[in-house]
């Protein structure tokens, strides 16, 4: 979900205003995705590399994620189940604050019975870190390193392979996001920043899906 800062800068606003707008747009896109019968929506909320950003900006983003995971009533109304992936909370390298951890656990528990779209938020997430973790877990279990053993030890092995990867804000590159899972995925690039990504853009991305 790239381009929040650029969206704000073009309007003479603080970068934090862009992150706020981006969080609101995610809520709007979730509602749209539900009407498009999207089964799985996974978003890159905060990376393992993002902790180096200025402290005020990081604090603001943390507050927005607590708010995002706090939208339980709305998610239940939409029949959306929320989950999270990132460095395990008990990992020595984990950086997720306790107040965000509590919000994540509560949201997961209170939407667990929902049977509609699965919304996965990647927070304190990096794909290379995930792959190292998967390999370490496989070795600890006495397994041979194979494609199957790596897949089974990903943070959320139940996630289906990615069919469409969306990259906003004119960035023509792949970030450290689900590198294992996006093998074979189609990529939708758009010049629009994340706060500007709307239902029409989502439809254009979904049009890349192979016919059933």
Say how many residues make up the chain.
Answer: 212
> Is 4 a residue of the active site?
no
> Is 2 a residue of the active site?
yes
Q: Which tokens go with 154?
A: 């990903």
Exactly one of 2, 4, 25, 124 is catalytic; which is it? 2
Exactly one of 50, 76, 114, 176 is catalytic; which is it? 50
How far is residue 72 from each of residues 28, 89, 156, 157, measured CA to CA in Å?
Answer: 14, 21, 21, 24
Per-position DSSP letters for 52-113, written without gaps between them: GS-HHHHHHHHHHHHHHHT-HHHHHHHT-EEEEESS-TTSTT----HHHHHHHHHHHHHTTT
Q: Is the CB of residue 168 less than 8 Å from the CB of residue 197?
A: yes
Q: Is the CB of residue 128 less than 8 Å from the CB of residue 49?
A: no
The set of catalytic residues is: 2, 50
């Amino acid at each position: 979900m790239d381009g929040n800062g650029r969206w704000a800068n073009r309007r003479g606003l603080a970068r934090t205003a862009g992150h706020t707008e981006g969080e609101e747009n995610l809520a709007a896109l979730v509602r749209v995705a539900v009407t498009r019968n999207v089964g799985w929506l996974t978003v890159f909320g905060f990376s393992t590399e993002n902790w180096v950003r200025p402290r005020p900006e990081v604090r603001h983003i943390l507050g927005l994620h607590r708010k995002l995971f706090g939208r339980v009533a709305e998610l239940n109304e939409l029949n959306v189940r929320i989950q999270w992936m990132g460095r395990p909370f008990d990992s020595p390298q984990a950086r997720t604050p306790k107040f965000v951890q509590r919000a994540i656990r509560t949201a997961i528990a209170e939407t667990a019975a929902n049977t509609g779209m699965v919304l996965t938020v990647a927070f304190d997430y990096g794909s290379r870190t995930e792959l190292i973790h998967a390999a370490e877990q496989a070795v600890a279990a006495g397994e041979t390193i194979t494609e199957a053993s790596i897949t089974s030890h990903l943070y959320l092995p139940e996630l289906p392979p990615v069919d469409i990867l969306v990259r906003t804000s004119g960035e023509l590159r792949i970030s450290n996001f689900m590198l294992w899972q996006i093998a074979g995925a189609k990529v939708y690039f758009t010049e629009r920043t994340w706060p500007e990504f709307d239902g029409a853009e989502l439809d254009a991305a979904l049009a890349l899906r192979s016919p059933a």
